[in-house]
Structure 1
């Protein structure tokens, strides 16, 4: 099934270039760094919406209809696709409210195939909640690739390879869905394992049912790095494009931070937001290769 989904990604992928941000890099040497963790959307990958689709702006009705039909499901010609988008939004909001009330999660995350399963039943697209996982994965990805096109950020692959060759441990902390890891082989040509990402230093929001800007995903990665490799938070550099979602929680758990200011689509300074009033990124990079100027080699 992964091959089918990767084919969907490639079928919809189109080259994109970063948009200038007018930001000047702020670089400094970062001695003692042993691990570099990354955000995905807007950092390693150009994101048309600036974030994973669940957190992006409202999708388009035509994208909903096309996705449903591409997955082999029916949608009448005289029915507005905006109704489908509203159904997805309502289901996400319902699940978020339930997690906040019953689980005490401040920043909840959904599993998108569950959202689609429940929404499709409520919309009358199917009369059974027992859709196959293949169908649900397919329709979720078909929709995502239409509302949030992605492409490789310049120099992402070579930066990852250079960091790995210098002995740095690599990890990911990202708002994401189950299809997100497939973007790597589909667009970057290598799987996450091939790039050398540590399997335990991974904080995927959909797996933990918690999202950024909460600290839970960062705390998970910090515990794994300390337990498995004896790497303390002060020895970790986290790279992301959002001062609130990325730099603030990473700073709160003790990581050093690199704000990636390389694409105007995704750069989030969060000006005027009191939640970032105490956030100070350690460095600001406008090209991923600049990370290599800040870290020399893992100790």
Structure 2
């Protein structure tokens, strides 16, 4: 029996699977600083500073502040300020407020993101085949309300529901976020669900741990992809290949021959 005939629900990761960041984080931080009348920060230092600051905020205030009742905007303001500080840049309150407003506004719009050309078609194909389509993402409410609609990925036409960590208070790789998705879809059994994402740790492993089928997408030719395959995980290069995999592979299944795919830089 084919996998497709077993499925009722398909959930999909967002960043790295459906959409990607354009350019480097430092681009946006630098532009915001310059537009506020101060020198452009060093890109590398800014990027490294952000990674540390973001990890620290995630540890102290998980799910973009949801876990500690911290407003999302305050979470980002603290993270951005710490990012600049770790990169060696300190600003007076007025200057920082101007910089932050520009950064927060940019990342609450479609400007820093691009949607992969196969994303909309794939999601619509799933829904046309009768599957319930859910999104599972470590993201805050602006992904749902602003970013995805601005990129042409709309609830009701491309996806049916979303489970976003900043809204539900649970984030990947916590298996509970996958259990929430199954429940939101109407109590779908795990063996009737497939999750698609680009991370072994955050997508494949926790989805499999609750009993869901899982598929990895390796759009960027990552070094880890070969390790994923050796562990037995099915890996495809894009969502066009994922569609073929769902429609054509018998269950249990093996990965099809990889096809060339254009690489795209992401943060």
Which of 104, 124, 129 does residue 137 from structure 1 map onto? 104
* Contact 1:241-1:259 within 8 A present in 2 as well: yes
Distance in structure 2 (CA, Å) of the matches to 1:40 and 1:159? 13
Return 5+ residue gaps in structure 1 as ranges.
Answer: 1-27, 50-57, 100-107
Within 5 A, what are the aligned runs for 1:241-252?
241-252=198-209
Question: Residue in 2 aligned with 1:39?
Answer: 13
Task: Return 5+ residue gaps in structure 2 as ranges.
Answer: 66-71, 251-267
CA distance in 2 between partners of 1:169 and 1:268 (Å): 30
* Pairing partner for 2:30 from 65, 70, 93: 65
2:116 corresponds to which of 152, 161, 166: 152
C-alpha deviation, 1:163, in angstroms: 1.6
Contact 2:216 2:236 in 1 (8 A): yes
CA contact (8 A) 2:32 2:102 kept: no
Question: Please, what is the CA RMSD of the aligned residues?
Answer: 4.1
The counterpart of 1:271, out of the listed 227, 252, 260, is 227
- Distance in 2, matches of 1:128 and 1:76, equals 8
Kindly tell me the number of residue pairs found equivalent between the two proteins.
233
Give the structure-2-normalised TM-score: 0.67
Deviations 1:230-256 (A, max 9, x none): 411111111112222211000001111
Secondary structure of 1:37 counterpart: strand
Q: Which residue of structure 1 aligns with residue 38 of structure 2? A: 76
- The equivalent position to 1:164 in structure 2, one of 121, 127, 132, is 127
Contact 2:63 2:165 in 1 (8 A): yes
The higher relative CO (CA closer than 8 Å, separation ≥ 6) is in 1
Corresponding residue of 1:191: 154
Tell me, yes or no, if structure 1 residue 289 matches structure 2 residue 251.
no
Structure 1 294/214 Cα, relative in aligned 2: closer, same or farther at 3 Å?
farther
1:113-132 aligned within 5 A: 113-118=73-78, 119-120=80-81, 123-127=90-94
Report if aligned partners of 1:113, 1:140 keep a CA contact under 8 Å in 2: no
Q: Distance in 1 between matches of 2:227 and 2:244?
A: 24
Change over 3 Å in CA distance of 1:44–1:94 after alignment to 2 = closer
Distance 1:237 1:254 in 2: 9
